[in-house]
Amino acid sequence: MMSTLFDPVQAGSLKLANRIVMAPLTRNRAPGAIPTPLMQTYYRQRASAGLIITEATAISHQGQGYADVPGIWSPEQVTAWKKITDAVHANGGKIVVQLWHVGRVSHTDLQPGNQAPVAPSAITAKTKTVLIRGGVPAFVETSAPRALRPDELPGIVDNYRHAARCAIEAGFDGVEVHGANGYLLDQFLRSGSNQRVDAYGGSIENRARLLVEVTQAVAQEIGGGRTGLRLSPVTPANDASDSNPQPLFDHVARALGPLQLAYLHVIEGATGGARDHVQGSTPFDYQAMRAQYRAAGGTGAWMVNNGYDRELAQASLSQDADLVAFGRLFIANPDLPRRLREDAPLNDPDRATFYGGAEKGYTDYPALAA
Ligand code: 8OZ
């Protein structure tokens, strides 16, 4: 039987009412890294998604890379997030928090003691980040990073473990490890940003080591069935590059198989851009990666993302996907599942209000009349 976007599905321990996922979306509305009451309204409005994945959320001060993004490492943050998870649950939704360490995609202004950001290797990312200067958001070049010492890596794994524990205390249904888009774990994966000569660099196995250790630690802490992982095999986002992504991500998929994760969340192509983006010499074969995952015992749901609309989502569900994540459509349509079901017109997202600001372009998109 062909499943539809509106059929329930089990993803690990997560019992989801439908297959429509709200993708993680950075919105820069959490000054001091503390979630706000306005964020509660925003997520509550979107509780009809089968699953909400929060905006990327820092696991530590060192993991911060942008102005006014939230964190999940302190008691104050846990208390603030609890109000949000309660609001989503009261409206029948499920919500996981995306655990984030930006690595080199940061700026000294955002780091503890204004120190250099950390990375697998001391190679500056050719990308920008956002600072608030004089109350106004400004795009600035990322700062030159320093290479992490091998003895610092267990501490970073512990930071992920601690954040996962905080997530459960805050009432989240689980977590998603952010392994995508050129941030710390992706920087370790890819040859363009990882020139280490220790056990965390060089071979594919070594470059994948930190991602696998982190995912394993989180799964151990809260259960694999409450742990998801996001990957972006060919994205050029944040200066991510690899000369040969297929064997790298096939290996990652095999290594994840035994962890019994809730889901794998795969960005197809360039994040927020071309779905057929190529990195390396041949188009990436996502079916092959999925086959490797299944062959290694992976039972998690397969979540696809990037530029999906109603038609493409339904086609993907009838082939290989279990869940479809929607980003920009969820920014502009708080009641997206209903609109997809009724094939109703969609509100258009306003780019000018994606990052920073208040209600405008955040909690003021209208739902359909009851
Ligand atoms: C847009 C702006 C800032 C961060 C990602 C967390 O690409 C992000 C992000 C997106 O995963």
Closest CA to 6 of 349, 313, 370: 313
pLDDT at 1: 60
Read off the pLDDT band of 32 (50, 70, 90).
very high
For the chain, how big is the Rg over CA atoms in Å?
Answer: 19
Ligand 1 atom closest to 25 (CA): 10
Enter the pTM of the model: 0.98
Nearest CA to ligand 1 atom 4: 26
Q: Report how far ligand 1's centroid is from the alpha carbon of 25 (Å).
A: 7
pLDDT digits (tens, 9 = 90+) for 315-330: 999 888 999 999 999 9
Query: Which residues, judged by CB distance below 6 Å to any ligand atom, belong to the binding site of ligand 1?
Result: 26, 56, 66, 181, 237, 271
pLDDT digits (tens, 9 = 90+) for 135-148: 788 899 999 999 99
Phi, psi of 174 (to 5 degrees): 170, -165
- Tokens encoding 170: 């805050």
Q: Indicate the length of the chain as a whole number.
A: 370
Q: Report how far ligand 1's centroid is from the alpha carbon of 229 (Å).
A: 15
Ligand 1 atom closest to 130 (CA): 3
Read off the pLDDT band of 202 (50, 70, 90).
very high
Active site residues: 183
pLDDT digits (tens, 9 = 90+) for 207-249: 999 999 999 999 999 999 999 999 999 999 999 999 999 999 9
Task: Judge residue 82's burial from the number of C-beta atoms within 10 Å of its C-beta, 0-12 exposed, 13-18 middle, 19 or more buried.
Answer: middle
Provide the 10 A C-beta neighbour count for residue 359.
12
Nearest CA to ligand 1 atom 7: 181
Closest CA to 159 of 64, 94, 28, 282: 64
Checking if the pLDDT of 370 tops 90, the result is no
Nearest CA to ligand 1 atom 10: 26
- Tokens encoding 340: 């997809």
What is the average per-residue pLDDT within 66-85?
98
Ligand 1 atom closest to 180 (CA): 11
Nearest CA to ligand 1 atom 1: 26
CB 12 within 8 A of CB 226: yes
CA angle 305, 311, 316 (to 5 degrees): 50
Q: Report how far ligand 1's centroid is from the alpha carbon of 103 (Å).
A: 13
Q: Report how far ligand 1's centroid is from the alpha carbon of 26 (Å).
A: 5
pLDDT at 320: 87
Query: What average pLDDT is seen over the chain?
Result: 97
